[in-house]
Amino acid sequence: MNGLLLINKPIGITSFDVIRDLRRRTGFRKIGHAGTLDPLASGLMLMLFGTGCKQAMSLTKLDKRYIADITLGANSSTGDNEGEKTVVNDHVPTRAEVEAALGKLTGEITQTPPIYSAIKINGQEAYKRARAGETVVIPSRQVTIHENKLLRYDYPTIELESHVSSGTYIRTLAEDLGGLLGTGAYLNGLVRTAVGGYQLEDALVLDEIDSPAVAEVHLRDV
């Protein structure tokens, strides 16, 4: 079994849980992925089998598309719905203000990734250090936001479609948006809809893989 399998990861499990589940369902051990998703996020993951694992680095660098559910009016200690919330204020921005702020967050921008992330600091994931009470400092990085499309705005909820470069954190995008609006903001939900030319609509859910043969027939060359 060699190649690429498109999987629609559900909310509530880790990216490595997907690998474990696929190993159990297929009996195949050499499985990896080309980019994680947080447990509270769902959507497209590129799962790599056998020699396909050699393409992990190049596939990880592909652009991503997301649908984000953002809540205004408060900040979160983790940047998402899992953290402790701190109310900022009750200012209700206009749609024009939201669109103007999103415009400032489009193009090449500087982001500081969240400390509750899988980025490794001295060999250990940042979120593990943060949960252990350590002070975590993550360097800023340049990322490219190709497009921020406002799909729906009904305060305090924003539904946003973003097309971004590899390495972009949508949690940070949400926090930066809240900072520009002066309201605070956190990510309430996230769905990855595309990685490069691969689309979520073509992905399998884990329960559809009820035998090694099903996985094998859906493997793509990479």
pLDDT tens readout for residues 107-162:
999 998 776 666 766 666 666 776 767 776 777 889 999 999 999 999 999 999 99
Helix H or strand E segment including 190:
strand 185-195
Verify whether residue 176 is a known catalytic residue: no
Contact 188, 74 (CB under 8 A): no
Q: Which two tokens stand for residue 57?
A: 């680095």
User: From the first residue on, what is the mean pLDDT of each consecutive set of 10 residues in the chain (222 residues)?
Assistant: 96 95 96 93 98 96 98 94 93 97 97 73 68 73 96 98 96 96 97 98 96 94 93
> In the structure encoding, which two tokens stand for residue 36, read together?
């994680």
Distances (CA, A) of 1 to 48, 198, 205, 207: 10, 20, 19, 19
Query: Are 6 and 47 spatial neighbours (Cβ–Cβ below 8 Å)?
Result: yes
Contacts for 49 with CB less than 8 Å, ≥ 6 apart: 1, 2, 3, 4, 5, 28, 30, 31, 215, 219
- Residue 162 in contact with residue 170, Cβ under 8 Å? yes
Q: What pLDDT shows up at residue 113?
A: 78
pTM, two decimals, is: 0.91
Domains delineated in the chain: 3-61+196-217 (3.30.2350.10), 64-193 (3.30.2350.10)
Instruction: Report the distance separating Cα 114 and Cα 123, nearest Å.
Output: 17
What pLDDT score was predicted for residue 117?
64
Peptide bond into 156 cis (omega under 30): yes
Beta bridge partners, 220, equal 4
Q: How many helices (H) and strands (E) does the chain have?
A: 6, 13
Give the pLDDT score at 194.
98
- The alpha carbon dihedral of 128, 53, 39, 69 has a sign of positive
* Element spanning 49, H or E: strand 41-49
| Predicted pLDDT of residue 127 | 66
Beta bridge partners of 42: 191
- Pick the catalytic residue: 17, 21, 38, 210? 38
* pLDDT value for 122: 66
End-to-end CA distance of the chain: 12
